[in-house]
A and B are shown apart, each in its own frame.
Chain A
Amino acid sequence: MPVNSVRQDELSREVSKKETLVRLYRYLFRYKKDLWVVAFLMAVTVSISLISPLFIERAVDVHVAKGDWRRLLLLGAVALAAYVIFMAGTRARTILMARITNQVLLNIREELYAHIQTLSFHFFDSHPTGKILARIIGDVNSLKELLTDSVTQLAPEFITVAGVAVIMVVKNPLLALAALITLPILAAGMFFIMTVSHRRWQVYRKKNSNLNAFIHEDMSGIRVVQSFAAEEETREDFYQLSGQVRDSFVYAVRLADCFGPLVDITWGLGGFLLYFIGIKVVGVDKVGVGTFLAFSTYLGMFWNPIRNLASFYNKLVTNLSAAERIFDILDTPAEIVNRENAGSLPEIRGRVRFEDVTFAYTDEPDRNVLEHVSFTVKPGQTIALVGPTGAGKTTIVNLISRFYDVKAGNIFIDDYEIRDVTMKSLRQQMGIMTQDNFLFTGTIRENICYGKPDATEEEMLAAARAVNAHDFIIKLEKGYDTEISERGAQLSVGQKQLLAFARTMISDPRILILDEATSNIDTHTELLVQEGIRHLLENRTSFVVAHRLSTIRNADRIFVIDGKGILEDGNHQELMERRGAYYELYQSQFGS
């Protein structure tokens, strides 16, 4: 299993930057109408910004020089009005742009989340939770500035640069060439920095993700850490990971911070060349003093926005790797999917048939866990699965619920191949108790009703009573309204299990799967639970991965799982008489 530990960097696929960028902007362009409004508002505010020096110039050069204070005040009033418009325009633009970017982030995050819901266990097995979280939260958030600046900074600066360049060329092509000849140097430098620093930012993101995963794991398992007095060790690990984040950041900015200086150098060189060529090569008399004066102003107007563009570009490179990580998940195909023409599974009776089933995990396709397994279970039968750990008991029940797909063979429920029906309709008719009795934060009531969202209060109480969870619940201070926290503070493992029972019970499944679920309750409670379950098992097909013979003995059939298949099949009586594997298992527990 290619698990990814906290310390291992994630692999990254090579995707062209352009492709990532285009894909990212596609989200933005869904809001075309709003973007047009933003563009309009920007045109207004930018033009006010551009003419405001003219106001000042006119005020000083014309009105003040002439001593015309009336006109001066009038001009002041006009300028004031323009500034008020500027203020209102900026405000409207900021809000609108914020709405667009926040909406885009919301969309990306939702799409990502929805896609993750469709992924198979294989994905979750190989990605630590902390690393997936880093993508859903951190990586998405880091796109915010990039998106906003793409619109509010990129366009106006670009227009200014292009405009000034055109004016220069029109005024004096030769001087323009002299002034702009350094641009290719800048472009080459930027390309180099981008290529290298992009790789460095990727590393930084990965280190960040590792740290996130580490914090997640350490905080989830803090009890174990403290119990083993391993704080010192985890601290060292943490320092190391946190230090790696820092180092990779420093490594990345060492180069990325060159963007600004690169602009400064080409700017200086451009100025040098402009005057040198203008004066020495072309000659002052040919160019004219006025043109020189104008060009000296243009140079500033040209390079300042370039500096801003460079800093935007820097941001782009920094955050592009975040976008890559997001798209990487979106591009991870869901392994277990509904077939195109998959229908809904109608109400079933509960017959389960394995037909020559062979199974191997995706990442070890050559190592079969099950080989040529065939059996038929009649509706209402209870099957106990026994056998050594890791022999494949859990695998069999996982296949029935289609958490994994078979490598060869077929599985039928009633007469439906499970891959021909939708997963939702399949799983809704099954009650699956997984190994971890995972409860969600929320009240006990909410947790029980997770199995049937539209359940009435009576149904919920009935389910809780049936598994004998009711008694302990009402003893709690707030009864069914008791809040369960992440670490399930108030509940023991056994109690959590009872709640998980109730949750499955309420969903009233046709097929019931209990996976190692009977092992954590005290005998007294278990008797009550068994009673409830027996109630539940009537007219229900059930598979129980159990360890206790008292539970197993009541089963209609027992499958002894070992050696990639079913070793023995029969009821307790029959198997005992056979004196095979089951007999030995039985003896080992009760022999003495």
Chain B
Amino acid sequence: MKLRTYMTPFWSRYILGTVCMLGAIILDLMSPVITRRVIDDVIVGGQMQLLMGLLMGLLGIGFGRAVMGYVKEFTFDWIGTTATNRMRRDVFDHVQTLSVNFFYRHNTGELMTRMKDDVDKVCVAIGFIGMLAVEATVHTVMVVACMLRLSPTLTLVPLCLLPIIGFLAVRMERRLGKVYEEISDETAALNTVAEENLTGVRTVKAFAREEFEMNKFRKRNRRFLNLNMEQARMAATYQPLISFMGKLLLLAVVVAGGLMVINGRMTLGALGAFSEYANNIIWPMEIVGWLSNDLASAMASWKKIKKIMAEEPAIREPEAPVRLEEVEGRLTFDHVSLELEGQPVLEDISFELQPGKTLGIMGMTGSGKSMLVNLAQRFYDPTRGSVLLDGVDLRKLPLSQLRSSMAVVFQDVFLFSDTVSQNVRLGQKDRMDRETVEWALKQADAYGFVSGLAAQTETLIGERGVGLSGGQKQRISIARAMAKRTPVLILDDSTSALDMETERQIQQDLKKTEGMAKIIIGHRISAVRDADEILILKDGRVAERGTHRELLAQRGEYYRTWRVQYGEEEGQCR
């Protein structure tokens, strides 16, 4: 990924901006010429007939400068923000393709900083800073050219000093770059701390730990200040030095030129003109320091963005994907084992789920149940063995086909702050009709309460479904999965947050859905008892398997759970 990618498309605009800039500079230089003629020719010389022409010229310069200046500024602003938009889209698109691993390593707060703050900073460089840099360079080159014409010898002075200034600017950029990288990371950290605090606000308040949270933030905020001060100190070392060099340049020209005049190697008039030019070089030098500072900031952010863009998704689209004509929904786990960071998570899991059948999975907390869902949707690839859909290895299927042929109801419900119906439509927003939405809501036993909301299915729900109870959120998330009418439906312990009656209702509706293969992961016997096969997982292995009846007869873990839940207690529960 090259920064150039975001600049070259705008080459015509850059040219337009630069031309206007040159125009404005030229007009700027012309203004004193006209003023002098007004004074010399009209006032002193008395050529009154020239006055109106010259004055109109003065007015014209004002207007011309205004127009050129406007076009220049607007063009570079336009380039900057348009490039920002493109870059942000690219970063976003890339991040969305990344895998679970990446998101474990990067907090939301950090990603927000990269996509907003860092992209903004880089693009300021592409637009505004670019403009100033070009302006300063053009100006300097023009001035030096004029100087060369006047006196090549004396031009040696600026030619000696300018490289030193350049060197200082580069050095400053380098050193500041490091600080800016830290600042960027600290911004991310600040964002993360605040983000976490806001997301966990209920917990914070429940434990009355506002004070503690304040201190945590204060510490970060303080570090942020210190880094910013470090940046200020460094900038304050170089910037005045560079502007000092600019002033020194003028002084050196005058002193050296003065000596030349005294020695008779130059005329006084030439020196006057020369020093006027040198005077014109001071302002570009003033902003050089300033530019290096912003450039350092932009480059530091650019590094961070490049790092994210260089992340490779662990799960990749196959190079030559095999697209299934129609997905029936036969899901097969063939001796699947999974290790994560060297730790075995699942070992030798095999099952086959036929279309329309139901598989129940139970197991202890942390026994790897949810990992099965991850494997089925190819959020991970198995370490050994293979997962197949309709007999084709998942690694050969296009990811979008694979994922849109299964719908998952997650353990922890995540709803988007959008309308109920848009939440249900997720994944098929452009093509799902109203009837399907309502059908799905009814299936999930959510239609009743949704109808009672202010704008029914068009009611906006808050972030993560704030304003709805846990059970209501869960029902919408069930509807979201049902609405896709996918060949495979996976319910990851998703009915346990519901009250008993609703759970029962939903389970009964689920039974009625024909032709859907279902995986139901749960802790309650009632959720899985009607499954065609039930697996009991323990420490990543299948400990027991069979139908409800068979498992009861085995008198193992399943039987014990059943006894506890159905209360035929003999001191177990009480």
Contact = CB atoms under 8 A, between A and B. Distances in A.
Given A221-B416, A527-B572, A264 B206 contact: no
Interface stretch (B1-9, B245-253, B385-393, B512-520): B245-253
B interface majority secondary structure: helix
A498 B460 contact: no
Interface string B33-56: 001001100111010100100111
Nearest to B101: A489
B429 A233 contact: yes
B365 A521 contact: yes
A536 interface: no
Given A279-B43, A451-B207, A228 B65 contact: no
A411 to B, nearest CB: 17
Contacts of B567: 549-550, 553, 590
Contact of B501 (A126, A491, A493, A588): A588
A250 B117 CA distance: 18
Contacts of A423: 208
B427 A228 contact: yes
Interface of chain A: mostly helix, strand, loop or mixed: helix
A216 B114 CA distance: 12
A5 B461 CA distance: 8
B365 A90 contact: no
B403 A3 contact: no
B365 A450 contact: no
Interface string A415-440: 00000000110111010111110101
25 contacts: A64-B268, A65-B268, A94-B240, A110-B214, A110-B217, A116-B198, A128-B417, A137-B194, A215-B92, A223-B100, A224-B410, A228-B403, A228-B407, A232-B400, A242-B92, A249-B81, A253-B77, A261-B67, A275-B42, A289-B39, A289-B44, A432-B206, A438-B202, A450-B209, A527-B564
A90 B343 contact: no
A180 interface: no
A215 B112 contact: yes
B240 A87 contact: yes
Contacts of B42: 275, 279
B567 to A, nearest CB: 6
B497 A519 contact: yes
A362 B239 CA distance: 55
A56 interface: yes
B410 A242 contact: no
Contact of B427 (A79, A95, A229, A403): A229
Contacts of B259: 69, 72
A221 B414 contact: yes
Interface string A251-262: 001100110111
Interface stretch (A16-24, A160-168, A265-273, A371-379): A265-273
The 5 tightest CB contacts between A and B, nearest first, are: A268-B62, A389-B471, A494-B365, A98-B232, A261-B66
Given A250-B77, A520-B411, A3 B566 contact: no
B196 interface: yes
B117 A390 contact: no
Nearest to A84: B244
Interface string A496-540: 001000010001000000001001111111110000000000000
A370 to B, nearest CB: 14
B339 to A, nearest CB: 13
A234 B271 CA distance: 66
B108 interface: yes
A368 to B, nearest CB: 15
Given A90-B243, A114-B214, A519-B497, 10 more contacts: A80-B248, A88-B240, A98-B229, A113-B214, A137-B191, A246-B85, A503-B207, A526-B523, A547-B499, A589-B501
Contacts of B257: 64
A319 B42 CA distance: 47
